[in-house]
Every structure is written in C-alpha cells, then in structure tokens.
Structure 1
Amino acid sequence: MHQRQLGKSGPRVSVLGLGCMAFSGGYGPPDDAESIATIRAALDAGISYLDSGDFYGMGHNEMLLREALRGRARDQAFISIKFGALRTPDLKWDGYDLRPAAIRNFLAYSLRRLGTDYIDLYQPARLDSPVPVEDVAGTIADLVRQGYVRHIGLSEASAGSIARAHSVAPIAALQIEYSLLSRGIEDAILPAIRTHGIGLVAYGVLSRGLISPQVTATTGSAGIRGRMPRFHGENFAANAKLVASLQAIAADLGLTLPQLAFAWVLSRGDDILPLIGARNRAQLADILKAADVTLAPEVLRRIETAVPKGAASGTRYGAEQMAHLDSEAP
C-alpha cells in the first residue's frame, strides 16, 4: 500500500483509508463478523488509516474496532475519531456539544471503548455549536500535550473556521465530502487547506452508493439515503445519466465504476486521502485496486466533459442536515 503524508508536517499514512461508519448500520443491518473480517483484511492489505465516530452505533463502532485490532500492535492502525454529535434514546439526532468539558468526556469514553491510551486524530464531527472553533482547537491541543491525542482534525469546516482553528493549534487534516458529484470544496475550502498545509480526508467518494452500477431509484428509500435528495425523483433520474456516462468510461478502461471514482479523487492531489466505505471484503478488494490506477490526461478530460463540476442534481444532504454544515456557510 502506497503512503501519503497527512498535511505538510503530519504523519505518513496509507494512501487509502477505511471509513467504518457502515459497520454500525445506516446502509442496512450490520454483520459484526464480516465487519471485523473486513477491517482485518484492510490492515493486512496495508491500510493504516481507520476512520470512526463515537456516535456510530452509539459506541458500537469503536468497540468493533477494538475487537478487530485485538492482538495487533497499536501502531499498525492510525485511528481517527469524530466526536460531538448527540443522540436521543430513539436514535434521533439531538444537536452537538463542543464544550471543553464535553470534549474531554467524549474522549474518555472513546479511549475506554477502543482499549487504547491515545487517539491518533481527533476532530469535531460538525461545528454547529455556540462554542468558538478556537476553543475547540485549544481544548484538543491540551489533550495533545497530555498525550491522549496525537493530531488535531476538523470535519465539514468552512475556510474561515479552518483558518481560525489553525491559528490556535496546527490542524493536520480536514475530513469532508469530495467526489465526482460533490466538488464544492474546490472553490474556497481546498485552496484554504493547501495554504495552511492541511491534508484532506475525503469521504463520500461514491456519493453514498449513487456512483454505482447497481443503484436504482428504490435504493434511496432505505437507510440514510432516504434523507438524501440526490436519490429521489427528478434528481435521481438526472444523476443516473451522469453515472451511466461514468460507467461507460470505466468500462473502456477495464475498471469498475468504484475504481474509477477513487482513482479520480486520488488524481486531485497528493494531499488527499479517500476513505473506502466498504461493508464487506469483496467491496474492499475491488476498491483497493484503485491505488494502482493512474488516469491519463485525456481520460481526466473525458471525465470532466461527462460530469462537469456542479452537474449533480440535488444537495448532498437534506435541508435540515445542510443547515448544520459549517462548510456550506455562505
């Protein structure tokens, strides 16, 4: 597995990471045995970067990681954890809490569930909070000095918030959605993190499965896709045409559609680390091959013509969730 440096002065990690959210539901019932096997297969393939959140399955995801990592050296895995999201007993979202005391509390629980004494990258899942981002970065910086955290991250932050946080403590990485169908970060956020020497961790590379030859209009009615406008009505019909164009390009290159999507994101810069959201070993094995794919300039031009920036129909989240995204602030 190739490696890339996370930001200008951050650690070296695998060029692809494993996004673990789907192991705790959202895209269908979880299968713990297959999830653990998939995490171990990723580690065996050289993937070091494992991304999770303390609210994925209300702690289930972190305990799953603990089991998957059992018997392995701690430094074989670079563990990235998002925090701050609040849930109700009936599993609904209930806002975000980024107070310093809450951050320390979240971390204490994560360390126990993971069975480790430090987290490699720690970041707020959203910045939708009255707590200034400077205070959030400063609190995590204190935890770095105490040895509980190695690096500070942000997620779905705007260019302005990134600059404010980075002025307090060095930010290693920004996690944000980036794909052939979600390129809004190219306007201000991507230039901003490059100015500051911050790495980009890209999630949603397959647009929640929209960039897939198997996706159908009924796919959007299940799980979290039911709240995503791109999977419904006229939006889906328009997006399906874009995906069909990409499928034709992938077929001409002898690639699968997921391989093409990941190869494209990898082509956007050596400072970008895409997350694989595979739910099983077969999906993982397919996408791993993208690490060895180099797209020729003429192929990149063909992709740009087929799916230009801004071509996707519908927002990437529903209106309520979009309102919580600092990254979408005008």
Structure 2
Amino acid sequence: MTNDSEKTGTATLGTGGPVVGVQGLGCMGMSEFYGATDEAAARETLETALDLGVTLFDTANAYGMGANEEFLSPFVKAHRDEITLATKYGIVRRADDPAYRGVSNDPAYIRECVEGSLTRLGIDVIDLYYMHRRDPAVPLAESIGAMAELVTEGKVRHLGLSEVTGAEIREAHAVHPIAAVQSEWSLFSRDVEISAVAAAAELGIALVPYSPLGRGFLTGAFADATNLGAGDFRHTQPRFTGDNAKRNAALLEPLRAAATAHDATPGQIALAWVQQQAQVHGLSVIPIPGTRKASRVRENAGATRITLSEAELASLDAIAAQVAGDRYPDMSSTALSRE
C-alpha cells in the first residue's frame, strides 16, 4: 500500500465541481497511438494511480474508436464511488480509414455519442463530459445547450471544453457552467496562456493540461521519433522529427539542472512546472500525464511534492519560445487557429 506521504493532494474541478486528486491520469495510450500495449500492465497502472490518490481518469470515444472506454469499464465499475470519469465527444473517426479525423458538434451527434460512451463504459452517468474539439460550423450555444440537456437528464454531471479560446469559454459558460477546460500545456506548449487561462481563472474553471510531459519528450525518454516503435503517432509530430527534434532536445538543459537540484527526474520537474501554474495564474490546474506503467505513475505523482524557486521557474519559462515545430502537423482544429 502507498503511504499517505506519497499520495497526491486534491483540487476542485471548477466552482462547485468534484474534488479530485491534483494530478489525473490520461488513459489514451493504453489503447492506441503509442505502439503496442500490455493490458495487464495497464490495469496495474490504473490501480496504482488510484492508490496514489489519482482520481480523475480521462478517456474519449475517439481513443481506439471506443476501445479505450471499453477497456476502462471494469475498473470504472469496480471503483465507481472513488473516481471521477471524464470522456469526450467531437472527434469523428472512421473504421474504413483509421487516419481520418473529422469534427462534429451537431446536437444529434452529441446525443448519439453520449449514449455510445455510457454503453461502452457500462455506467449510468458520466462525471465530466468534454467537447473534444470545436466545430465552428455549429453555433456554440447549440452544442452547449445540447450538452446541458444531458445534465438535466442525469446522463452527465459536469461539462468541459477542450482546445478552446478564452472568448469561447466565456460564451459557453454563459449557456451552462463549465467545470473544466482541457488543453495541451507544458514547458513546450503554452498556447493556452494566450486567452484561455485568464478566462478560466476569471470564471472559476479548472484547467486540465494534457500532454504535460510534451508527449514524453520532456522526460528525455527519446531524442527524436526515430527512437520510437512502429505505429507510434509521434512519427507524424513536427517537433519530434528531423532538425526540429535536434533543436528541441538542446532546450532541455534547464530541466536537467533543476532535476539535479531537486534530486528528481526531468519529467518530475516538467510536471512540477505545470502544477505550479495554479499559483502563477490563480486557478485549479490538474494535469493528466498519460502512461501505461505503474512505475511512471509513481514517478509522476512525486512531482506534486516539488516546489520550484522563482529563478527555476524563470529559467524553465524561457523554453517555450524557442521550441521548433508545431504541436500537430495540422493545427486547424486547435484553439490557436481561432485566436
């Protein structure tokens, strides 16, 4: 069993939202995107995370085209009263073309998606339901109105948004309270600070950073995509290929220096920086680093006990402006494309 001193603290998912562990777990990689998975090891990872005080578990209907929700179902049902389950709709995939990515926020599609997620998860209500990506072709009020109906019907408890601008957060929140905004946020990716962070802080909305470890790059686990296995989607990410990868690897020295000073790993320092943005910006920040290994969950949880000095924060803050390459090969569905 885990000692109390090893467990993470807690934070609130938005004004009036549930209290969760200050660090969550992204479950996407347990089913897809990062190469072959070991189901037994992934299940051990889930149990270890919960033992460490991690209670926010994040999935989406797009991960494995529903397979990730099905994988999580036994764990969710076994610990239903202990965890906060987040899933998403909005990214459209096709079985006949695994590479296809579309976006839909149509109210009828939202209802279809929530019913599918409830069935795959084997539960009656989703704790936190996100709009995974924004479809500008559908008025935001219509989509949030449809999501609000799911709350009224008892199928969803709280609403969230992902990859949205500050203006979109305010517009959605005026229709129905938003508990959380999920966006990529790390030492390498700070687009969210353009407008979303300030809006979330103003409205009492929690920020849930995904990929807080820069998809593993900030841990030093790989220097470029050539070190990764076949089927790993990072082969398509501009930051991890060619000259971009070489330039970005050279930016990690301040991370290593802080790690040495704190007797920590570079990954723990990267997570500590993200967690400390809660104090910097005045809002709840609950990162969801993804992993398939119990040992990594323990390492990640240790980051919650690290406090970086102002000098260390300043040194780390300088990294993002020097990063080479976009977050995705196609940035059209990100908030940055609408800022």
1:301 paired with 2:314, answer yes
1:215 equivalent in structure 2: 222
Gaps of 5+ in 1: none
Match of residue 81 from structure 2: 75
Which residue of structure 1 lines up, in the alignment, with residue 5 of structure 2? none
Q: Which amino acid in structure 2 is aligned with residue 219 of structure 1?
A: N
Match of 2:267 among 254, 258, 264: 258
Q: What's the secondary structure of 1:53's corresponding residue?
A: coil
Give the aligned partner of residue 160 of structure 1: 167
Please tell me whether the aligned partners of residues 213 and 247 of structure 1 are also in contact (alpha carbons under 8 angstroms): no
Q: Secondary structure at the match of 1:310?
A: helix
CA RMSD of aligned residues (A): 1.6
Unaligned runs of 5+ in 2: 1-7
Q: Which residue of 2 aligns with 1:233?
A: 242
Is the aligned partner of 1:290 residue 2:303?
yes
- The alignment status of 1:310 with 2:321, answered yes or no, reads yes
For the residues of structure 2 that align with 1:200 and 1:326, how far apart are their CA atoms? Answer: 14
- Determine the structure 2 residue equivalent to 1:85: 91
Following TM superposition, by how much is the alpha carbon of 1:249 offset from its aligned partner in structure 2, in angstroms? 2.2
Q: Structure 2 length normalisation: TM-score?
A: 0.92
State percent identity of aligned pairs: 37
Q: Is the 8 A contact 2:166 2:199 kept in 1?
A: yes
Question: What does residue 276 of structure 1 align with?
Answer: 289
User: Would you say the 8 A contact 2:259–2:265 is kept in 1?
Assistant: yes
CA distance in 2, matches of 1:68, 1:171: 26
CA separation in 2, counterparts of 1:94 and 1:308? 30
Deviation at 1:220, TM superposition (A): 6.2
With over 3 angstroms needed to count, the CA separation of the structure-2 counterparts of 1:165 and 1:19, relative to structure 1, is same
| Aligned AA (1:316) | R
Q: Which moved more, 1:217-226 or 1:149-158?
A: 217-226
Show the counterpart of 1:107.
114
- Which of 172, 176, 189 aligns to 2:183? It is 176
Q: Is the 8 A contact 1:176 1:202 kept in 2?
A: yes
Distance 1:97-1:121 versus aligned 2 partners, 3 A rule: same
Partners of 1:183 and 1:71 lie apart in 2 by 37
1:308, distance to aligned residue in structure 2 (A): 3.8
Question: Which runs of 4 or more aligned residues in structure 1 lie more than 6 Å from their structure 2 counterparts after TM superposition?
Answer: none
CA contact (8 A) 1:84 1:98 kept: yes
What is the SS of the residue equivalent to 2:255? helix
Q: Aligned partners of 1:206, 1:240: CA distance in 2, in Å?
A: 13
Match of 1:267 among 251, 266, 276: 276
Q: CA deviation at 1:212?
A: 2.1
Asked whether the 8 Å contact 2:52–2:298 carries over to 1, the reply is no
Cα distance between partner residues in 1 of 2:320 and 2:99: 33
- Find out whether 1:325 has 2:334 as its counterpart: yes
Cα distance in 2 for partners of 1:213, 1:326 equals 27
**Partners of 2:292 and 2:77 in 1: CA distance:** 20
